[in-house]
Structure 1
Amino acid sequence: MADAASRLTALAEELLSEPLPVRIRAWDGSESGPPGAPVLVIRHRRALRRLLWKPGELGLARAWVAGEVDIEGDLYEALGHLAGLLWDRGADAKDSVHPVRDPEVRAFARGLLDLAGPWPPPAPPAEEVRRRTGPLHTRRRDKKAISHHYDVGNDFYALVLGPSMVYSCAYWQDGGTLEEAQRDKLDLVCRKLGLKKGDRLLDVGCGWGSMAIHAAREYGAQVTGVTLSREQAAHARKRIAEEGLTDRIEIRVQDYRDVGDGPYDAISSIGMAEHVGSVRYREYAEDLYALLKPGGRLLNHQIARRPERDEDAYRIDAFIDAYVFPDGELAPLARTLATLEEAGFEARDVETLREHYALTLRRWVANLERHWEQAVRATSPGRARVWRLYMAASALSFEHNRIGVNQILAVRPLDGGGSGLPLRARTWTEGPGA
C-alpha cells in the first residue's frame, strides 16, 4: 500500500493517456502529480470503494460529502479539471459500443480495487436523499423535496445569501455588492411586471419573502406569497412584520396548484419552476394563466439546460438529484417558451442572465467559506460540503455555457388579442411611479 498517490496517478494517466492535471495526496501521506497544481486529497481509501461502486459523479460526490475527499488550492480550477475528466468523458462514453470492456477501463478498475481495501463500500452519507419510488411531482412528494432543500436552517441560508435572503440570480450593474445586485434584480422583476400601487401580485415560490417585501414597499402592491417550506414562511412573516407590511403581504404555506383566489394583476415565479417537472409543467403554465386577469403579466425566471437530441428529456445530474434538488428537472428555453404559449400566454420578452448567475454563485461560495465554522454549526459538516461543491460547480456550468438562466415576460392576452404592453420594447425600465 506504500506510495498510494503514485499508484493512483499512474492508473489515471494510463486510462486517460495524458498527464493528470491535479496533484494527489493519499491517505498514507504520499503525494504525486504536477507541483503547484490543485491537490486532490484522498483522506481514506474507502473513497475508492465509493467510486468503484458508483463510477463517476455520484461516487465522487459521496466521498466528498463524507469528508473522505477534499481539494486544496483553487477549488474552481480543480473542479474544472475534474469535470473534464469525469463528466465530459462520461458523456462521450455513451457513444461507445462497449465502454466497460475497454482494456484500459478494466485495468483501471482492477488497480482501484487493489487499493480500495475491504468490500463493500460504506453506506451513503446521511445527507443523501433516500431512494424514491412512485410517481413524480405529487403534492406530497414535492413537499418532501422542497423540505429537503430549504428546511436546512434559516441561519445557514443567511450566512450564504447575505442580508438580501434572495436565493436566485442577482442582476449585476457596474459592480456593486451582492445585496445591491439582488435589489436590482427584484426591481427589474417589478418593472417588467409593470407593478403599481394596489396591484395584486402572486409570488409563486416566495422563499424568505424578499420579492414580496420589495414589491409591497417600493411599488405599493398587495402581495400573496406561497411556499411549501414552513421555515421559509416563518422567516418571511417575521421580516414582513419588522417592515410594517403585514397589511400588504400574506405568506401562505401552500402548493401553487391550490391557489384559488385569482385573478391577479401579475405573477412572479423566480427560481421555482425548476421544481415543477416535465409531467406537471403544462399544468403549471395553465394554472398560472387561469390565475391572471386578461392583460396580466407573468415573469418566469428559470434555469435552463442546453438542448439535446432527445428533447423530451428533462434532467438534472445525479449529485444534484441526490443531495441538492431532489426531483428537480431542467428544460431547454425553447421547451419552456412553447409550453407557456400552449397554455395561452404570449411571450413578450426573454432576457438571458447566464453570466449574472455565475457571479452570484461565486459570491455565495465566498460567503460560505468566510463563515465556514458557523455554517457547519448551523447545519452539518456534510450539508455545508454539499452546498460548497454544488455552488462552485454550478458557477462553472454557467461560465462554460452548460446551463443558462432566463427571464421570460409573458402576458395573458386581453379579449380581442391585445397585450396591454407599450409598443416600445423594454419601456418597463423607468422604475417605480414612472
Structure 2
Amino acid sequence: MVDGAASRLEPLLVRLLGDPLPVRVRAWDGSEIGSPGAPVFVVRDRRALRRLLWKPGEIGLVRAYVTGELDIEGDVCAALGALQRVLRHDDEAIRLSGDDKREIVRTAVMLGAVGPEPKAPPEEGGRGLLAETPEELYARMAGGARALGTGHWAGTAEPAEAQRAGEERLAARLALKPGASVLELNAGWASFATRLAREQGALVTAVTSFDVVPPEGVRAVPDVPAEGEYDVVVALAGVLPLHGVVDRVAGLLRPGGRLLVRQPVHRQDAVQRPFTSDYVLGSQEELPTLGSFIEALDAVGLEVCRAEALREDYARTLRAWAAALQDGPREDGLTRTWLLHLATAALAAEAGRIGLYELDAVLR
C-alpha cells in the first residue's frame, strides 16, 4: 500500500536521508515507501515519531527501537549501515536545520503523533549492559560455541569453529609449563580455562558468574581474588574491559608474571555515541585509546612485549553474535539493546572507529 502514513512521512525522510531513500519504511497502517529490496524499518507505533519529535537523531531512534515501537526486518547490521547518515556520519552528530525541525513537527501533527515526551526505556541509564545481562542471553549470542572471546576467522565462516581456532592459537602462544598458576578473568563457561588445564597441565582459577561445573585443574570463583601470585593472568573476553582495574590485576602477578589481554579501544578522534554511554557502559569508564591503555599498563609496571590488532576478527565476531540474537525472539528491551549494540559496534569496527588489540605484557 503506497497511500497512508508512510507517504505522509516521505517528504520528511527524503529531507533527512536524501532521494532515493536508502531504506524502506513500513508504517503502522501497512503503507510502505522506499526502494524495493532496501532494508526495511517498521514504524509500529506513532509513539516512535513522538520520540523523534522530542529527541531528533540517535537517542530518539534508539529509544523507539529498544521499546519495540520501531523495528528492523532482516539483517540489522545492513539496515543500520544504510542508515549511518541518520545515526552519525564521520563521527559527527546529525544536525537539523530550523526547516528540518519545523517539518518534523508538521509531520507529527499531521499523523497524530504530538503529545508529552514518552519516558525513556528502563534499559537507559542503568548499570549498563555488561552488568545486567543474564547467562541465558550470553548463551544465545554464543550459540554452540559457548565462548565469548573473539574468534579467529581465517579459513572458516562458522562461529564455533572460529572460537576453537582462536583458543588453539592462544593456548599455543602461552605454551605453559605443567603446574603453572593461571587466573582467567571474564571466563564465561571456562572453555579456555579447561583447555589450559587439560592440554598444558595448568592450575587455573576462572572468574565467572556463570553456572559451570569446572573440570579437574580448574577452580571457578565469582569474583577476582583479593590476593595471590599468579604466573599468568588472562583476560580474553571483552565483556568486562580491563582498563579500569590494571593496578589490581598487576598486584595479582608474581614478579616476571605475564598478562595476556584483549582490550577494546577507540580511535583517538572518535566521538562517543550517546547510545554507548547511556545504555552500554553505564557507570563504567569509556573505552581507552590504545596509547592510553599501554600507558596505564606501564604505570603499574607491566611492560608490553607484543601488540596485535584483531579489529577484523572482532568485527566478524560481533556480526556473528548479532546474527545469533536476530535468529531468535527479541521482544524484550535487553535483547534489543544488545542487538543494537552488537550491530553498531560491528559497523564501528569495520570502519576503524573502534578496534581490539591483544597485548602480551610482563610484570617488571
The alignment partner of 1:384 has SS state of helix
Q: Does 1:252 align with 2:221?
A: yes
The alignment partner of 1:217 has SS state of helix
**Cα offsets for 1:341-365 (capped at 9, x unmatched):** 1221111111111111222222223
The change in CA–CA distance for 1:106 and 1:160 in structure 2 (over 3 A counts) is: closer
Q: Which runs of 5+ in 2 are unaligned?
A: none
**Cα offsets for 1:106-131 (capped at 9, x unmatched):** 323323432352411333334x14x4
The alignment partner of 1:409 has SS state of strand
Alignment of 1:135-174 (within 5 A): 146-149=130-133, 152=134, 154-174=135-155
Q: Which residue of the other structure, out of 97, 106, 114, is the alignment partner of 2:101?
A: 106
* Aligned residue in 1 for 2:115: 119
The change in CA–CA distance for 1:208 and 1:273 in structure 2 (over 3 A counts) is: closer
Are the equivalent residues in 2 in contact too, given 1:46–1:116 (CA < 8 A)?
no
TM-score (norm 2): 0.88
Tell me, in whole angstroms, the C-alpha distance in 2 between the residues paired with 1:200 and 1:116.
65
Which amino acid counterpart does residue 352 of structure 2 have in structure 1? N
Are the equivalent residues in 2 in contact too, given 1:202–1:267 (CA < 8 A)?
yes
* Aligned residue in 2 for 1:191: 172
Q: Does 1:368 align with 2:325?
A: yes
Q: Which residue of the other structure, out of 283, 293, 307, is the alignment partner of 2:254?
A: 293
Tell me, in whole angstroms, the C-alpha distance in 2 between the residues paired with 1:145 and 1:84.
25
The change in CA–CA distance for 1:410 and 1:276 in structure 2 (over 3 A counts) is: closer
Tell me, in whole angstroms, the C-alpha distance in 2 between the residues paired with 1:16 and 1:392.
20
Name the one with the larger helix percent: 1
* Aligned residue in 2 for 1:319: 275
Which amino acid counterpart does residue 123 of structure 1 have in structure 2? K
The alignment partner of 1:331 has SS state of coil
Tell me, in whole angstroms, the C-alpha distance in 2 between the residues paired with 1:88 and 1:76.
16
Q: Does 1:84 align with 2:85?
A: yes
Tell me, in whole angstroms, the C-alpha distance in 1 between the residues paired with 2:93 and 2:274.
17
Alignment of 1:31-430 (within 5 A): 31-88=32-89, 91=92, 102-114=97-109, 115=111, 117-126=113-122, 128-129=123-124, 131=125, 146-149=130-133, 152=134, 154-175=135-156, 177-227=158-208, 229=209, 232=210, 235-236=211-212, 238=213, 240=214, 244-245=215-216, 248-254=217-223, 256=224, 259-261=226-228, 263-272=229-238, 275=241, 281=244, 284-308=245-269, 316-328=272-284, 329-370=286-327, 372-373=328-329, 381-413=332-364
Tell me, in whole angstroms, the C-alpha distance in 1 between the residues paired with 2:173 and 2:25.
50
**Cα offsets for 1:245-266 (capped at 9, x unmatched):** 2xx2222122x3x5212x1111
The change in CA–CA distance for 1:119 and 1:78 in structure 2 (over 3 A counts) is: same
Deviates more, 1:201-210 or 1:13-22: 13-22
Are the equivalent residues in 2 in contact too, given 1:164–1:210 (CA < 8 A)?
no
Are the equivalent residues in 1 in contact too, given 2:17–2:85 (CA < 8 A)?
no
Tell me, in whole angstroms, the C-alpha distance in 1 between the residues paired with 2:240 and 2:219.
24
Q: Which runs of 5+ in 1 are unaligned?
A: 94-98, 133-140, 310-314, 414-434
The change in CA–CA distance for 1:68 and 1:77 in structure 2 (over 3 A counts) is: same
Tell me, in whole angstroms, the C-alpha distance in 2 between the residues paired with 1:391 and 1:402.
14
The alignment partner of 2:339 has SS state of helix
Tell me, in whole angstroms, the C-alpha distance in 2 between the residues paired with 1:3 and 1:89.
34
Tell me, in whole angstroms, the C-alpha distance in 2 between the residues paired with 1:203 and 1:339.
20
Tell me, in whole angstroms, the C-alpha distance in 1 between the residues paired with 2:157 and 2:20.
41
The alignment partner of 1:49 has SS state of helix
The change in CA–CA distance for 1:122 and 1:334 in structure 2 (over 3 A counts) is: same
Are the equivalent residues in 1 in contact too, given 2:130–2:280 (CA < 8 A)?
no
Tell me, in whole angstroms, the C-alpha distance in 1 between the residues paired with 2:58 and 2:349.
18
Tell me, in whole angstroms, the C-alpha distance in 2 between the residues paired with 1:147 and 1:92.
28
Tell me, in whole angstroms, the C-alpha distance in 2 between the residues paired with 1:48 and 1:10.
14
Deviation at 1:217, TM superposition (A): 1.5
Which amino acid counterpart does residue 110 of structure 1 have in structure 2? V
Tell me, in whole angstroms, the C-alpha distance in 2 between the residues paired with 1:193 and 1:294.
17
The change in CA–CA distance for 1:17 and 1:384 in structure 2 (over 3 A counts) is: closer
Are the equivalent residues in 2 in contact too, given 1:204–1:270 (CA < 8 A)?
yes
**Cα offsets for 1:164-220 (capped at 9, x unmatched):** 321131112311632222122223333333322100001122222222212112211
The alignment partner of 1:91 has SS state of coil
The change in CA–CA distance for 1:176 and 1:85 in structure 2 (over 3 A counts) is: closer
Tell me, in whole angstroms, the C-alpha distance in 2 between the residues paired with 1:214 and 1:80.
37
The change in CA–CA distance for 1:193 and 1:382 in structure 2 (over 3 A counts) is: same
The change in CA–CA distance for 1:359 and 1:326 in structure 2 (over 3 A counts) is: same
The alignment partner of 1:386 has SS state of helix
The alignment partner of 1:106 has SS state of helix
Are the equivalent residues in 2 in contact too, given 1:193–1:297 (CA < 8 A)?
no
The change in CA–CA distance for 1:112 and 1:250 in structure 2 (over 3 A counts) is: farther
Are the equivalent residues in 1 in contact too, given 2:175–2:200 (CA < 8 A)?
no
